[in-house]
Amino acid sequence: MGARLVHRWVRVKADVLGDVAALLAEWRGRSNHLLGVHLRGTDKVTHPKIPLEKFVRYIDLYMTAHPGALIVLATDDASYHAQLTARYPGNVVGASSGYNTRNVVRDRTINGYAKGRSGLVDALLLAHTDYLLKGTSSLAEFSLWYNPSLIERHLDLQICCEGERSPAYQALIPRWANGEYEPPPLPPTETPEAKLLALQVAAGVAPPSASDSSASDAKGDPEGARLPPAAKRLEAAVIAASARRSVFGSVSGDNVSISRRRRGRRGRRSEREAAAGENAVPAWPLPAHVPSAVQRL
């Protein structure tokens, strides 16, 4: 559901995409394997911090299985960056090196726009990695929504104790980490090369003729076929409600814009509704179980 909403409504500015595409092109030129690592540090207060050793254990296993891999590190904590850079010299890459502060969110000495843009760049970089190690975080969750193929190629290290020992969690441990899980093969439009090419086209840094198929696929609905009917009905309700109540109409930002649907004079049906006729989706209020973040939009 989150991936569908991001795909339909979120548009990232071209200059941000260009920065991300440039970094990814450089890293893909150096290695065929990118491991995404999101280490939330200074502002992680709702959930306990994940011990760095837990990340290191999986990073070591990935580096052993994929010699020459690069670690795409996204962190707000400069100390985490320093420790991983020292442990994996030459293999740690990223857009920034974190902050020396107690809480990056509440530190007003750091420019708010710069913080927001940096977080967005980190999320997009993680979204284009081959595997993601993460904890509980909306930033890393956005990466999964932006690139749904990572849903089958990530591990949430926030889960511990009985949850970590459960058969359900153990079934997700990949083979490179001595587990039994093997993600399904990626379709041609979801490969790292195709994703990077589509990103370059969106950023305006690649010839459109070189990626007509990638661009058309990006406008499609790559994950729609995998959604259960209930999720599709819920999405239809969200879209219908947005057309009627301007649910998505007031949200915009410096780095991201939310596509806006407007409705004409009160009581007048839009052309789309008129064309749909009796098959139009009724614009009922959002169900109570729709995530609060969606309702706030």
- Domains and their CATH numbers in the chain: 2-190 (3.40.50.11350), 228-296 (no CATH)
pLDDT at 81 over 80: yes
- Using alpha carbons, list the distances in angstroms from residue 245 to 239, 264, 279, 295: 10, 11, 20, 11
Distance CA 49, CA 157 (A): 10
**What mean pLDDT comes out for the span 19-29?**
96
Per-residue tokens: 78 = 């400069």
Distance CA 78, CA 291 (A): 32
Residue 208 gets which letter from DSSP? G
Return left, alpha or beta for 159; rule: phi > 0 is left, psi -120 to 50 is alpha, else beta: beta
Query: Is the pTM for the entire model greater than 0.85?
Result: no
Distance CA 194, CA 217 (A): 10
Q: Which stretch of 78-87, 123-132, 186-195, 228-237 has the lowest confidence by average pLDDT?
A: 228-237
**What mean pLDDT comes out for the span 68-74?**
97
Confidence band, pLDDT 50/70/90 cuts, at residue 220: very low
